[in-house]
Structure 1
Amino acid sequence: MERTEVEDSLNLGDLASVKTKDGFFAGKVEDFGESSIKLSNPKNGLCKRIAYDYIMEYDVGRLPSTDMARIGLDSQSRMVAIPGKDYVVGATPVTQRLYEKVMGENPSYFQTSNKKLDEALQCILSREGNTQNNPVENVSWYDVVYFCNKLSILEGFTPAYSVDGERDPQYWGYKPHQKEPIGSKVCCDFSCNGYRLPTNDEWEYAAAGGEDYLFPGCDSMDEVSWNGENSNGVTHPVATKMANAYGLYDMSGNVCEWVWGSEDEIGSSHDNRGGCYSSSEDGCIFANWGDGAASAFRYKNIGFRLLRKVC
């Protein structure tokens, strides 16, 4: 993979913004121009180096307001390059903050404003502050493809998904966060540079991190995941557990993640991967597959992670 030619750049103190033909990127000044980026693991103090072509690190308030519509709007929403592949993957599942910024509402079940939560769960969530950095959940597979195209358009990328040839989701005749499917077949153009869901193979490759562990990053479930034994029955802020070797967090536990399934998949159900806050050890092993879930339904244990082709 060759590094994309920079068309414009702007120094923002200890951050730099770089614009290429594929879009706007931001990161630490010292990271640009290097062939690798150092990732620190807060759990054990170890540092690992991974090859990369792009890293996007979005920091609210640090970038010009004119660029805010083109970026992910929260510091958790960075995309990490996968060595040997032509795509970047979200370092974490999409957060409630990012989802609400793009879609205008937060449908998540696990948020302190949800009056349907019992008092005990409200207390657990409140201890960690607001839930804006928790993974978004309670979103259907159709909501997710809508979100992906909307974010792609906001950032100036070519949307990957289309319905009846239309890539702009506002013309799909679909209202997000309802229990209705999109009326026609959803197609994916894998050559586009817009955001999309990983396929099963892409998700599993990213989760493995180039290593031979039972869970993404190590053989200890609790080190890498919020699961049925340590979560107290709720989601938790992303990136609070150990990352794998690629710098990806929460590939096991916290929330299951919608995937495309296969490059030609259509149908009323789709796969989900990774296990969630209520999963057993077997459910958190990254090689395991979740049962196919109804595409139009919203589940409080299923969120998603972004992928984007970069060359």
Structure 2
Amino acid sequence: MKTKEKGSTLLGFAVGLALAALMIAGCKTNVSSTPETFAVTFSVDGGNGKLKAKADGITETTESPITVEKGKTVTFTATADSGYRVKGWTCDGEAVNGTNAFYSFTVTKGVEVKVSFESNSVPPTPPSGDVGSFEDTGDGFIKISPPAAGITGKDPTYTLPGTGDWGKGVFRAGRKVKLSPYKLGKTEVPYKLWKEVYDWATQPANGYKFANAGVKGKDGSGTEEEPVTNVSWRDCIVWCNAYTQKIKGEGECVYRKSKTDTTVLKDATKGSECDAAYADMSKKGYRLPTEAEWEYAARWQGSDNTNAEQYGDVWLTKLNSASGAKADWNNADETKAVAWYGDNSDSKTHPAGEKRKNALGLHDMSGNVWEWCFDGYDSNPTVNDAYTSGGFVVDPQGAASGDSRVIRGGSWIDNALRCVVGIRDSFNPDFRIHFLGLRVACRP
């Protein structure tokens, strides 16, 4: 009997110890550190509009300040009163973000953000020198007028990511390039537009044929507003002809069988015919941009020297930065503000036009998807002298020979380095993949 009582006592003691251990363990799992937060102050400098702030976990508000966790993104929306426009932004007194209506960054400290507005009746200050100009034509395109004096190439005076010439773009030292005025789409071609033209083009009466149908974004699971991907260079030039014929008539189609045989290219499965395509640049139809057109549009800043280098009179974004970024590729906040890439894309494409636009009003020139250019590729973009006139290279179209075609801009799958404006790459014209799409150009 005593033995049984002793056993019961020991069992009860053991159970008590186990319960105590569980309670202690449970207490430990509930211990959590308080996240670090910062006060973000914001206001309108001088009135004539409103400023709202929104952050992860915080509903959009006009009440300042807001308290934001470190590492979270805060986004500001400026809304001008009738008759006014955004004049500029400052963050802790430093000018940022140009005249954009939206401003966002990742919070790492307490800051003060201000926006100011000005009357629409006040003409913008004209830039000094011949820096070119641009105009939003209201049809989803930006009309771009490069400097009449051309762009005088130069070697960068700053550090590039990587070695060699692979990140030096096309405006090289010793090369003077003149570009005719052109229009470029504000965004990459969304699947919705691609599919609309594709469905029209493949009707028997219209006679177009494609090698690939294209998909919504990364793998077909995206929205119709995400860029089309999985389309080859051949698909793209044929699609541009179809888009032209649908909107402007077949006579304005750019891509022809040859300079002498002006048959409009309509079949992307005829590889040799497509690869030998002649681009009739006198036509006003839709087309792929040339590489020089693409790079100029990605880099143009006019007379704004922020994170830029001067080429003649015009300032161009530094080669080591994303398009529209105000700092080089090492500055994650700036790269994330303008590009969907490996660090912020969540491994997928995003609707075209969500990121901050560049100085010309173009979105996603860096990141989201790589973009086909018309040009044949050579590691040295200056080798083809067929476009030389009076000491200038006029509207160049790339290498005189070779099988591959140029791609530019980086994508959702790449690191920041691959999304800078100087990086050049290429694929064969029949290649297609889930991070490659297009942007459309045309003559004004």
Structure 2 length normalisation: TM-score? Answer: 0.48
Does residue 189 in structure 1 map to residue 280 in structure 2?
A: yes
Runs of 4+ in structure 1 over 4 Å off: 44-54, 264-267
Partner of 1:198: 289
Instruction: Write out aligned runs for 1:24-63 (5 A).
Output: 40-43=100-103, 51-52=133-134, 55-57=137-139
**96, 103, 113: which is aligned to 2:191?**
96
- Alignment check: 8 A CA contact 2:241 2:255 kept: yes
Distance 1:46 1:149, change over 3 A: farther
Amino acid at match of 2:279: C
- Alignment check: 8 A CA contact 1:53 1:81 kept: yes
Does residue 301 in structure 1 map to residue 435 in structure 2?
A: yes
Secondary structure of the structure 1 residue equivalent to 2:273: coil
- Alignment check: 8 A CA contact 1:142 1:182 kept: no
After superposition, the CA RMSD in angstroms is 2.9
Distance 1:103 1:243, change over 3 A: same
Partner of 1:163: 257
Higher strand share: 2
1:294 to partner: Cα distance: 1.2
Amino acid at match of 1:241: K
1:191 to partner: Cα distance: 1.9
1:39 to partner: Cα distance: 7.1
Instruction: Write out aligned runs for 1:100-179 (5 A).
Output: 100-104=195-199, 107-108=214-215, 110=217, 114=220, 125=222, 131-156=223-248, 158-164=252-258, 165-170=261-266, 174=267, 176=268
- Alignment check: 8 A CA contact 1:43 1:242 kept: yes
1:103 to partner: Cα distance: 0.6
Amino acid at match of 1:289: R
Distance 1:47 1:162, change over 3 A: farther
Partner of 2:141: 79
The one of the two structures with greater contact order (alpha-carbon pairs below 8 A, sep at least 6) is: 1
Structure 1 length normalisation: TM-score? Answer: 0.67
Q: Residues of 2 paired with 1:99 and 1:83: CA distance?
A: 27
1:130-162 alpha-carbon deviations (Å, 9 max, x no partner): x11101110000000001111111121511111
- Alignment check: 8 A CA contact 2:370 2:410 kept: yes
Q: Residues of 2 paired with 1:189 and 1:46: CA distance?
A: 46
Q: Which runs of 5+ in 1 are unaligned?
A: 1-37, 58-77, 115-121, 126-130
Distance 1:52 1:252, change over 3 A: closer
Distance 1:264 1:242, change over 3 A: closer
Does residue 269 in structure 1 map to residue 404 in structure 2?
A: yes
Amino acid at match of 1:269: S
Partner of 1:241: 355
1:33-55 alpha-carbon deviations (Å, 9 max, x no partner): xxxxx974323678897954561
Aligned residues: 232
Q: Which runs of 5+ in 2 are unaligned?
A: 1-97, 105-114, 119-123, 125-131, 147-179, 203-212, 309-316, 328-333, 376-395
| Identity, % of aligned positions | 28
Amino acid at match of 1:217: G
Secondary structure of the structure 1 residue equivalent to 2:229: coil
Q: Residues of 2 paired with 1:97 and 1:271: CA distance?
A: 25
- Alignment check: 8 A CA contact 1:139 1:303 kept: yes
Secondary structure of the structure 2 residue equivalent to 1:102: helix
1:166 to partner: Cα distance: 3.8
1:190 to partner: Cα distance: 1.7
- Alignment check: 8 A CA contact 1:257 1:302 kept: yes
Q: Residues of 1 paired with 2:420 and 2:116: CA distance?
A: 23
Q: Residues of 1 paired with 2:101 and 2:427: CA distance?
A: 33
Partner of 1:22: none
